[in-house]
Structure 1
């Protein structure tokens, strides 16, 4: 991106990032992690309420991530074309509707529908936020809004790791439905802030060609959704009899590739993306990082409640040191734009944490379980922030919304794989043997993450911002 002289002049005069945008950006972006993490301690109570085993309650996890993985890049593309405000408002309103549906759900599958709607609704804020950051960067001449990126990451990390504790407290006072009801006031707050503070369009959309704004490549979006849905539903219950899903995924994927290569304004520009190997590598690392993170969040938490026989609120409290570790690490490293060191350390600590699960059993003292959580908190504070910074440096500014949406898509692909792995190792309950099987799976995933990080030389080129770095 070329800095215009007047932009640099404004930056030197202190015309920094518009602070009024921060509150709706942060509040909207935490809707997904708070709904993801609170559910971790609610799966057992929900299963008991509806008489459902872990293999069925796993759909509460996968339903949200399936919807989010599909919706994030779609809504991100709409943000790129039409501006951040309308997608943000529609998405956050849907969160409130989904929360009400969850509170009054009569059975498990209506609850799954509520989670699907939550997945779609929570998909708007992150691409809208990244698009706003890129637009503000162009306006002010500040290349790397390190302070705001760190603030977004810290808030998401805090919510994700405090979520189980908050969920446990809500369940102990209002039952499992309380974790759905909390979405209603959050939705209202987002609607008020978004309506008052977010611009309808940014300069990036105003300067986009009119043809780009008119065409949304609906066919590409539909084929993308069909491809992703078919493959992810297969991943949830992989078996030979489900081969038609793989066939649908392959056919839809081929049609999607042909469509995008020929479209004048494609939903996902495969020609540009295929030439951006560093960005593809970032997407791959995001998937691997979150397979480990979400496997731990859901698998370890379920085991704490069943295998270790802790209550939902106690299990949430055991995970508090994980939150503290993630917050401290993100706060200490958030303003540093370098990513390679963070990813290498995060990968190594993920290996240590995955191996530590082999030490856990039904007689493990609480301090051992607390220590395992604290170890896992370190990579949670490093990997997500590092991949976010890498994306900011590697993505095409004109497609920041859809690129950010794809980053979240790969994150949720990792979550779905984690959910499928958890369901596979806990077919009839969260046993210690199943936890140890999960540990071996995570060791393989963490090792792949380390190898792909060490092999990516492009990460060395992502360093301190040129000019003012703080927002």
Structure 2
């Protein structure tokens, strides 16, 4: 008897079925390509600019204090947009939000590559921030929805692959940026979004499922009503967040007034969300989920170190060590390769707490190594420092993502994933502000050492928070290898 039908059936199970859809009980692997591509758009754009700041400043005659807005503009847009777009995905599904965001990313690539001045370039980075908001929340939503559809755990490598495609892949940004600048100048670092967006539109249109409108929700008085957006809650969320981010970008007494809206409007936001029938962020549930709140705080601390290395260290390599933009990008390649290997090898293993502990300890060691660098440091030692930083980069991004996946309310997976990015970008803003304070007009070695002491303190705090977090140990027994999705019926929130 021919074995060909058996082989075809096995292939159908592995690939998620034929053209008609995935086999019952199988993760639809056709979703992987749009998930991964959509998820990398934001981290690549957040890091590719690191080697472009010096040539852009030279092109427009702008000092570092002005080109820093190219970093902050994307972070402002993304920190606000990620949870907002994530909530829209929770309500309406990922397809329309993914396609709209990807189209906006392509438009931003066109505007940025043709920008006649720094102001237009900053506007393009704002568009990029909003346009790239949908990819990561959409991916987390799809993983959770596939677990619910199949009634089974997601494949062990899916979350690990997503971690590689998100925060870990950000490390390739400087190397890619250096290559693009060498080939076509700094404008090529914006133009690269055009083909990426085109590919995302094709993959999203052909592979993402169409989602029916959300079912009506039961109200307290009995009648059922259609799910609706909490627009006032979104506005009240955005105002204090923008004020906080603007203060963190200029943390001095002259800008202390920005903290007033943080307290006042932030209090109004909490009051509103406690009374809203369908809140944008369910602060009552979130406030009772201390493990998830601790994970968000841990993300902030981890990404202060990660992004300070990405931006501050890269600027020092160009100005303090004397490398070109292309050479500085290539010097970051060992970090990228190490992070990819670490995420890939550890992604299928149990031990969420162990990942956090090793990642936290690795950051402490890496920050200490920055203290021995100077203007004459060999390229080989620079590569060695990048390798050491790659270990916590791979572990932290994977562990943080898996923790949110298991600790968050499954019905709010999109917005919870967006909040993870928001806290990560709060850390990035702190890192950017710290780099600006210690470097001043030039990224010299003295400034690098001051930055290293600050980062060392943050890394030690991150390690202390991780050691004290007992909820991680309670979460592990319920987690399958690699942080796979829990079976249908599991609330996916882990220990409280």
The answer to whether the superposition gives a TM-score over 0.5 is: yes
Q: Tell me by how many angstroms 1:155 deviates.
A: 2.1
Aligned to 2:322: 309
Aligned to 2:55: 45
Q: Tell me by how many angstroms 1:324 deviates.
A: 1.3
Q: Tell me by how many angstroms 1:202 deviates.
A: 6.8
1:199-278 equivalences under 5 Å are 199-201=209-211, 205-206=214-215, 213-278=226-291
Checking the alignment, whether the CA contact within 8 Å between 1:55 and 1:426 is kept in structure 2 is no
Q: Which has the higher contact order (CA 8 A, sep 6+)?
A: 1
- Structure 1 unpaired stretches of 5+: 1-9
* 1:159-210 CA-partner distances (Å, limit 9, x unpaired): 312221111010011000100000011111111111111112279x458669
Checking the alignment, whether the CA contact within 8 Å between 2:217 and 2:227 is kept in structure 1 is no
* 1:69-106 CA-partner distances (Å, limit 9, x unpaired): 00000000000111111111111111011111111112
SS in 1 for 2:211: coil
Aligned to 1:283: 296
Checking the alignment, whether the CA contact within 8 Å between 1:168 and 1:316 is kept in structure 2 is yes
* 1:359-394 CA-partner distances (Å, limit 9, x unpaired): 111011111111111100100000010011111111
Residue 367 (str. 1) matches residue 377 (str. 2): no
The alpha-carbon distance between structure 1 residues 468 and 157, as it changes in their structure 2 partners (threshold 3 A), is: closer
1:76 aligns with one of 62, 73, 86: 86
Checking the alignment, whether the CA contact within 8 Å between 1:142 and 1:468 is kept in structure 2 is no
* 1:108-134 CA-partner distances (Å, limit 9, x unpaired): 122111111111111111111111111
2:36 aligns with one of 17, 22, 26: 26
Aligned to 1:93: 103
Matched length: 459
Task: Report the TM-score, using the length of structure 1 for normalisation.
Answer: 0.94
1: distance between equivalents of 2:236 and 2:310? 32
Aligned to 1:423: 436
Task: State which drifts further: 242-251 or 103-112.
Answer: 242-251
Residue 133 (str. 1) matches residue 146 (str. 2): no
1: distance between equivalents of 2:57 and 2:218? 51
The alpha-carbon distance between structure 1 residues 193 and 175, as it changes in their structure 2 partners (threshold 3 A), is: same
Task: State which drifts further: 423-432 or 450-459.
Answer: 423-432
SS in 2 for 1:310: coil
2: distance between equivalents of 1:448 and 1:150? 26
2: distance between equivalents of 1:53 and 1:121? 27
Checking the alignment, whether the CA contact within 8 Å between 2:84 and 2:418 is kept in structure 1 is yes
Q: Tell me by how many angstroms 1:249 deviates.
A: 2.0
Residue 445 (str. 1) matches residue 455 (str. 2): no
2:206 aligns with one of 196, 203, 210: 196
Residue 405 (str. 1) matches residue 418 (str. 2): yes
Which protein has the larger Cα radius of gyration, Structure 1 or Structure 2? 2
Task: State which drifts further: 242-251 or 437-446.
Answer: 242-251
SS in 2 for 1:246: helix
Aligned to 2:124: 114
Q: Tell me by how many angstroms 1:156 deviates.
A: 2.4
Q: Tell me by how many angstroms 1:141 deviates.
A: 2.0
2: distance between equivalents of 1:408 and 1:213? 29
Checking the alignment, whether the CA contact within 8 Å between 1:42 and 1:312 is kept in structure 2 is yes
* 1:239-285 CA-partner distances (Å, limit 9, x unpaired): 22223321122221111111001111100001000100000000000
- Structure 2 unpaired stretches of 5+: 1-15, 17-22, 486-496
The alpha-carbon distance between structure 1 residues 266 and 417, as it changes in their structure 2 partners (threshold 3 A), is: same
1: distance between equivalents of 2:480 and 2:374? 52
Checking the alignment, whether the CA contact within 8 Å between 1:308 and 1:363 is kept in structure 2 is yes
Task: State which drifts further: 330-339 or 19-28.
Answer: 330-339
* 1:28-57 CA-partner distances (Å, limit 9, x unpaired): 000011111211111111111122222221
2: distance between equivalents of 1:344 and 1:52? 42
Aligned to 1:148: 158
Task: Report the TM-score, using the length of structure 2 for normalisation.
Answer: 0.89
Aligned to 1:381: 394
Checking the alignment, whether the CA contact within 8 Å between 2:168 and 2:394 is kept in structure 1 is no
Q: Tell me by how many angstroms 1:425 deviates.
A: 1.3
SS in 2 for 1:62: helix
1: distance between equivalents of 2:364 and 2:179? 31
Aligned to 2:5: none
Checking the alignment, whether the CA contact within 8 Å between 2:76 and 2:242 is kept in structure 1 is yes
The alpha-carbon distance between structure 1 residues 158 and 260, as it changes in their structure 2 partners (threshold 3 A), is: closer
Q: Tell me by how many angstroms 1:468 deviates.
A: 8.8
2: distance between equivalents of 1:209 and 1:178? 51
CA RMSD for the aligned pairs?
1.9
1:66 aligns with one of 76, 83, 99: 76
Task: State which drifts further: 69-78 or 132-141.
Answer: 132-141
Checking the alignment, whether the CA contact within 8 Å between 1:81 and 1:213 is kept in structure 2 is no
The alpha-carbon distance between structure 1 residues 207 and 148, as it changes in their structure 2 partners (threshold 3 A), is: farther
Aligned to 1:332: 345
